[in-house]
Amino acid sequence: GADLKERAKMHSSEVSSFVSRARATINELANLPVPTIAAIDGTALGGGLELALACDIRVAASSAKMGLVETKLAIIPGAGGTQRLPRTIGVSLAKELIFSARVVDGEEAKSIGLISHVVEQNEAGDAAYKRALALAKEFLPQGPVAMRVAKLAINQGMEVDLVTGLAIEEACYAQTIPTKDRIEGLLAFKEKRPPRYKGE
């Protein structure tokens, strides 16, 4: 999250500019055309959780601490938290967490759907990072164009009704048809070998 001691010294116009830049940066992360995974091994409060919410997948250690705690400071999450948290865990529960400024650990975060995986912390303090890396390795062999358009179809489809979402999916699928990777995938399947995708 933000450095609150630094924030206390800022003029109100500086705060608005700071939050605007943070929001823009976090939106850029959310719009990256590749899968993103947040590994939370420590504390993700306020802007830290907003950053994690902009990722496609979140993994946390059971001992991690997460929350949108801004209402304790008489402000609200300003870098996407009021929009991404309800879309992740549901409106009522998101309101409860934001209104109470409650901090949850990895186990509770998993139980409410805030994170996809919870792992016991290890001595090195990087258990979530290692789990995130293992997930990333599962994604790597897949076709790059397919990954990009699958993310696009999911992200855009979640903002519209089902009929429109299905049309988005159709348009995204169409982008994979003329690719060399699609032909390579079919050939590799036929030849019983791993595909060698090039993102073309």
Reading the block at residue 130, the tokens are 């290692």
Distance CA 31, CA 145 (A): 15
Question: What is the architecture of the domain spanning 144-191?
Answer: Orthogonal Bundle (1.10)
Residues 6 or more apart whose CB falls under 8 angstroms from that of 28 comprise none
Distance CA 93, CA 176 (A): 38
Which residue in 46, 47, 48, 81 is the catalytic one? 47
Told to judge if 14 belongs to the known catalytic residues of this protein, a careful annotator would answer: no
How confident is the model at residue 14, as a pLDDT? 77
Told to judge if 47 belongs to the known catalytic residues of this protein, a careful annotator would answer: yes
Top CATH class of 4-139 equals alpha beta
Distance CA 96, CA 78 (A): 17
- Ranges of residues in the chain whose predicted pLDDT is under 70: 1-8
Is pTM beyond 0.85? Reply is: yes
Told to judge if 96 belongs to the known catalytic residues of this protein, a careful annotator would answer: no
How confident is the model at residue 15, as a pLDDT? 76
The domain locations on the chain are 4-139, 144-191
Told to judge if 70 belongs to the known catalytic residues of this protein, a careful annotator would answer: yes
